[in-house]
Amino acid sequence: MSKLTFIVLLAILFSACNNKTKTSTQTEINTTISKTELQDKIKGGWAGQVIGCTFGGPTEFQYKGSMIKDYVAIPWDEGRCLWYYENAPGLYDDVYMDLTFVDIFEKEGIDAPAASHALAFANAEYMLWHANQAARYNILNGIMPPESGHWLYNPHSDDIDFQIEADFAGLMAPGLVNQASEICDRVGHIMNYGDGWYGGVYVAAMYSLAFISDDVEYIVYEALKAIPAESDFYKCIADVISWHKQYPGDWKQNWFEVEKKWSADIGCPDGVFADFNIDAKINAAYIVIGLLYGEGDFSATMEISTRCGQDSDCNPASAGGILGTMMGYSNIPELWKKPVYPVEDMDFRYTTMSLNDVYKMGYDHAMQILEKNSATIDGENITIPVSEIVPVAMEKGFEGHFPKARTGVHKKLNNENTEIRITFEGNGFVLTGGVNKTINTADNVVMELEMVIDGGEPEKFTMSPEFSKRRHEITWKYQLKNQSHEVIVRILNPIAGYEVNANDLIVYSPEKAEKAWITD
């Protein structure tokens, strides 16, 4: 056992011994919550998520690899939520993505299979990015979960996507972390794998524990039990916990330690060799920094989790939802809650659901999960059988793959140039790019392409100029022999007015390069 693991386990044990629930020291105990309190906490979770998303909206990815300085004012006023609802409703992808899955549970029951969730998600009208869009493309082209989220099929599998969408799983499973993990298994592998999936499992576990504890440290520590200790995700959050003990009054020092050790993204093609970082681990670290240093104060938690930067709307949304669940809707300070009032009856964009709708649905689904898992309902009181948390299965994406080089390709595939050839040395690659229309037409021709590696069998795929149907990258392949390779990409149906722009080639090596490089 490493020294760090020992410190974290010791902290978990200490917190549990001083917490009223004490779930970590017993196989199963009973915890009682009233129906009124359950509803209040569910409302607090959803409202807290909207508050955090709204507060962090103006700074989303404006500060990459940098804290948001104290002198940078982040606006907040009574009309803030309404303005976004009416003018920039896409901000709330954190929420309406959740509602896709909530809607399936409402229509098909709490045992709705992964395929139902995947098809609803893939055919929804909203725009998607990163792991979500890669998964949507996979599903629309016949690659269903769990393969749709697996790193061999999805270069964004370690990204934040499911982490920002897993709130519903914890809110459905009050005090029942293992049940929340099972829901995450069904839904989260649609778009993520490994550390990317663990982000959602961990967030859902914190939500679940927020129903039965009012101790933020306990919630953060105990939820980590749901994650395999050998995973990088676990190690990253364990580091944050350890640094919180080392620097208890200085969240910025913790941020610097996280940046030094965990800021190098190896998966997301947009984040490799870049300051942009949408990796689940580091953004989860910012959630935890906000929760630990916020010490249960809603304002401090919002400020800190947002000022950590990067995905600075999603991270306070998760922190605000967890804290809102812990304290309940009725205890969220009026300063933060007041902007929510005007929008609670307004449907989220791309849905037919409002906050008031999901407050009710969330309560109904939670009651169904509780009853299914032997909770005792006695009038107003609900007795929850809280079991010891079981870690989910170990998964590791991009194992044995380290970024070696990023080079500009800057070639176009069109009706005049139907083939490009690229050579590299390594054990994997990603070729970034997309379809561009050079003519003004409402038609969207789907481009048919093939990729051949080292003269092998062609791998055929399609690319669409439609944003919602696009392939996030042109092509990629991992787990190759570490040697020289030639990649040929061809258009099979060239047509005037359409071209595929090949942008960058990212090359991987089985060992960390002493000096990786980037060139244009």
Say which CATH number the domain at 455 has. 2.60.120.260
In a domain, 393, yes or no: no
The answer to the question of residue 346 being in a domain is yes
From the list 254, 234, 255, the residue with the least C-alpha distance to 244 is 254
- Which residues, other chains included, contact 87 with Cβ-Cβ below 8 Å and sequence gap of 6+? none
Residues 434 and 457 in one domain: yes
Q: Are 416 and 497 in contact (CB under 8 A)?
A: no
| Residue 509 falls inside a structural domain | yes
pTM of the predicted model as reported, rounded to 2 decimal places: 0.93
d(CA 154, CA 131): 7
Which one of 387, 410, 431 terminates a domain? 387
Q: Which residues of the chain register pLDDT less than 50?
A: 1-26
Same domain, 503 and 366: no
- Looking up residue 84, the CATH number of its domain turns out to be 1.10.4080.10
Query: Domain boundary residue among 338, 355, 387?
Result: 387
Question: Residue for token digits 């060239």?
Answer: 494
Q: Answer yes or no: is 392 within a domain.
A: no
Distance between CA 35 and CA 330 in Å, rounded? 14
pLDDT of residue 439: 87
Both 266 and 414 in one domain: the answer is: no
| C-alpha to C-alpha distance for 223 and 213, rounded to whole angstroms | 12
Q: Choose among 191, 43, 141, 126: nearest CA to 464.
A: 141
In a domain, 97, yes or no: yes
Separation between Cα atoms, residue 101 and residue 167, nearest integer Å: 11
Residues 416 and 361 in one domain: no
Same domain, 119 and 257: yes
What's the pLDDT score for residue 331?
Answer: 98
Contact 379, 34 (CB under 8 A): no
| Pair (378, 408) in one structural domain | no
pLDDT value at residue 440: 86
Q: How many domains does the chain have?
A: 2
Backbone phi, then psi, for 490, in 5-degree steps?
-130, 145
- Residue 396: inside a domain: no
Domain check: are 288 and 382 in the same one? yes
What distance in Å separates the CA atoms of residue 429 and residue 508, rounded to the nearest whole number?
Answer: 6
Q: Are both 407 and 369 inside the same structural domain?
A: no
Q: Comparing C-alpha atoms, which of 378, 349, 452, 388 is closest to residue 87?
A: 349
Say yes or no: 185 and 231 in one domain: yes
* 123 and 259 inside one domain: yes
Residue 59, domain extent? 3-387
In a shared domain, residues 361 and 226: yes
459 belongs to a structural domain: yes
387 backbone dihedrals φ, ψ, rounded to 5°: -95, 160
Q: Is residue 397 part of a domain?
A: no
Question: Edge-to-edge strand order for the sheet containing 428-437?
Answer: 475-477, 428-437, 498-509, 402-413, 517-519
Domain boundary among 347, 364, 387: 387
Tokens standing for residue 123: 């055919």
What is the structure's pLDDT at 28?
A: 65
**Domain shared by 363 and 408, yes or no:** no
Q: Report CA Rg, the chain.
A: 23
